[in-house]
Chain A
């Protein structure tokens, strides 16, 4: 699994960080989401899918 964040769409809601804190973080200077793991471990895949599904900005793209 590969994750791409579209920074323009990110509205800094922080849902991804609340759901998958080992994969996502937010920059201190603007609250925009950043990746801690661009290709997360299998154990994180469910949380990452949930984060992508609920992102209010639809800013998280997943590919295999």
Chain B
């Protein structure tokens, strides 16, 4: 049946862990502004072309106000991270958003991230040593992918890494759109809120050398800083964002590069390709998660289709990243691709705040693995890799490897 003749369910299921569903190409070609039905049963409009996704993500008329009464609910339980109260406390647009973005963004500059490289590499090396000591096969996701970004973001925020199991769970209740019930999500958010609130009280009494202490030291809104509640929500947001996103991407990146031996061999032969290889795996990540939902406050047009006010739009960056009109040989992995203006981190004023951090972590992990475990390979056929279902951010269940 053609995609035009039915209302597609979204997310679209994919058969293979690393490959895109066939519907993406069909949608981009014939139905770039598609009606879809979300897990909640509510209707939304799915965008899959590169030009449309890029334009909408950068257009302030497409807001992040998924809490609006007529916005589509992503799931019957709500929308997790996208429509939590948290999302309404950080200014959504205009000068206020820009102010927040710059206050926090200065902690994530490329220079600061480069300065973290040596400590990231040490953490990665220790984690690889531990995995090797445990014997093959190991799970690269649990041994390296998950712990590394958590240690790094905890250190930046001044949050004790030994509490990571707790916020790993809180983070999952926010990012998993289908696994948890409403009560469980609310209880987890309340516990997370209390945890962060206690942590900040401790930092007010005894400031540390970390991002949250510095945000407190910047003073309240009247002194050009953030309100107490904004600092708290910023801390929660950064902890969640710095958690599952890069953690899952490490496993997916390594799996994609090991899926064909020639890719790994090219990187071993020329480690200068690490930077462009990381970008190419970000572009080709077919399991990047839900995409970004936006709520339209006024009637507008996308690709010649009129979208009425109140429409909820879902931007599929992963589908857009495979658009042949934007990328030559879009379906092919080219480790030298440059420029690579993929949309994995979004676009415009809201594009990922932590992208320099994520890029640096991915580059460091790859550099350390190539250096320490040149014989690394998947311990299962690539067809046996399994996706984690229901996450706002996609990932693989495990990444079994040997060396």
Contact = CB atoms under 8 A, between A and B. Distances in A.
Interface of B: 58, 98, 101-103, 105-111, 113-114, 275, 338-341, 345-353, 355-356, 359
8 contacts: A12-B105, A13-B352, A13-B356, A17-B356, A18-B359, A26-B109, A30-B102, A31-B107
A62 to B, nearest CB: 13
Contacts of A56: 345-348, 351, 355
Given A14-B110, A31-B105, A31-B108, A50 B356 contact: no
A13 B344 CA distance: 13
A57 B341 contact: no
A53 B339 contact: yes
Contact of B351 (A17, A28, A57): A57
A38 interface: no
A59 to B, nearest CB: 10
Given A26-B111, A29-B106, A32-B102, A13 B345 contact: yes
B341 A11 contact: no
Given A14-B356, A27-B106, A57-B351, 17 more contacts: A11-B351, A12-B105, A12-B106, A13-B356, A14-B113, A15-B356, A17-B109, A26-B109, A26-B111, A30-B103, A30-B105, A31-B109, A50-B338, A56-B348, A56-B355, A57-B58, A58-B58
Contacts of B338: 50
Interface string A4-17: 00001101111101
Could you tell me the dominant secondary structure of chain A's interface residues? loop
A45 interface: no
Interface of A: 8-9, 11-15, 17-18, 21, 25-32, 49-50, 53-54, 56-58
A31 B359 CA distance: 16
Nearest to A26: B109
Contacts of B347: 56-57
Could you tell me the dominant secondary structure of chain B's interface residues? helix
B215 to A, nearest CB: 14
A21 B338 CA distance: 17
Residue among A28, A31, A58 with max Cβ neighbours from chain B (10 Å): A31
Contacts of B98: 8
A21 B341 CA distance: 18
Contacts of A32: 102
Contacts of A13: 345, 351-352, 355-356
A47 B113 CA distance: 20
Contacts of A11: 101, 105, 348-351
Contacts of B275: 18
A12 B109 contact: yes
Residue among B58, B101, B356 with max Cβ neighbours from chain A (10 Å): B356
Nearest to B356: A14
B340 to A, nearest CB: 7
B262 to A, nearest CB: 25
Nearest to B346: A56
Contact of A53 (B103, B114, B341, B352): B341
A62 B109 CA distance: 22
Contacts of A9: 349
A14 B109 contact: yes
A14 B108 contact: yes
A12 B101 contact: yes
Contacts of B101: 11-12
Contacts of B355: 13-15, 56
Contacts of A57: 58, 347-349, 351
A15 B345 CA distance: 11
Contacts of A28: 106, 109
